[in-house]
């Protein structure tokens, strides 16, 4: 089964470590790179052309929403899932209008990514 090449970006080192461990439990996800901020997200996506980007919204200097807007201007952009501790409609709207296809609440991280991985392997993604 082809694994989903994934990049994770979050400014908190402890969350990156935790997420790595959690994601290693998912067979369908192949974590290929980690980043710390919005600019990393842009450069890493350009360099690796992943299928999926998991990106924190709240990061210093350039956050996930701004980064998503710019990444979606790239050729063959990845599916973007923005990660936030907020699940309210306004944040979701901002995420959507930046072009993110999915919105993940940090509280629910692993199950949400598992569902997303399932969805991506089942439906052919552009």
72 to 101: interface string for another protein, x by CB under 8 A: xxxx--------xxx-xxxx-xx--x----
Q: Interacting stretch for another protein, rule CB under 8 A, among 1-9, 22-30, 67-75, 110-118? A: 67-75
Pinpoint the alpha helices (H) of 1-126: 13-23, 38-48, 64-71, 89-98, 109-122
Residue 51 contacts residue 71 (beta carbons within 8 Å):
no
Q: How far is the CB of 121 from another protein (least distance, A)?
A: 26
- CB neighbour burial string for 17-52, b if at least 16 within 10 angstroms, e if fewer: eebeeebeebebbebbbbbbbbbbbbebbeeeebbb
One of 4, 65, 100, 104 touching another protein (CB under 8 A): 65
What number of residues does the chain have? 126
**Residue 12 found at the interface with another protein (CB under 8 A):** yes
**How do strand 52-56 and strand 29-35 relate by DSSP bridges?**
unpaired
Q: Which stretch binds another protein (CB under 8 A): 1-9, 27-35, 42-50, 108-116?
A: 42-50
Contacts of residue 73, defined as CB under 8 A and 6 or more positions apart, other chains included, come to none
Q: How many residues bind another protein (CB under 8 A)?
A: 34
Identity of the residue, 59 or 116, whose beta carbon is nearer to another protein in the bound complex: 59
Positions touching another protein (CB under 8 A) are 11-12, 39, 42-43, 46, 56-63, 65-66, 69-75, 84-86, 88-91, 93-94, 97, 106
């Amino acid at each position: 089964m082809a694994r989903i090449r994934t990049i994770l970006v979050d400014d908190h080192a402890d969350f990156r470590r935790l997420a790595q461990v959690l994601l290693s439990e998912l067979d369908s996800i192949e974590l290929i790179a980690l980043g710390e901020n919005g600019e990393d997200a842009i450069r890493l996506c350009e360099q690796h052309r992943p299928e999926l980007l998991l990106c924190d919204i709240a990061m210093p200097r350039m956050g996930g929403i701004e980064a998503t807007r710019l990444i979606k201007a790239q050729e063959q952009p990845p599916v973007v899932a923005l990660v936030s501790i907020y699940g309210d409609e306004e944040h979701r709207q901002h995420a959507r209008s930046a072009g993110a296809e999915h919105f993940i609440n940090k509280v629910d991280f692993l199950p949400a990514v598992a569902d997303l991985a399932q969805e991506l392997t089942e439906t052919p993604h552009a």
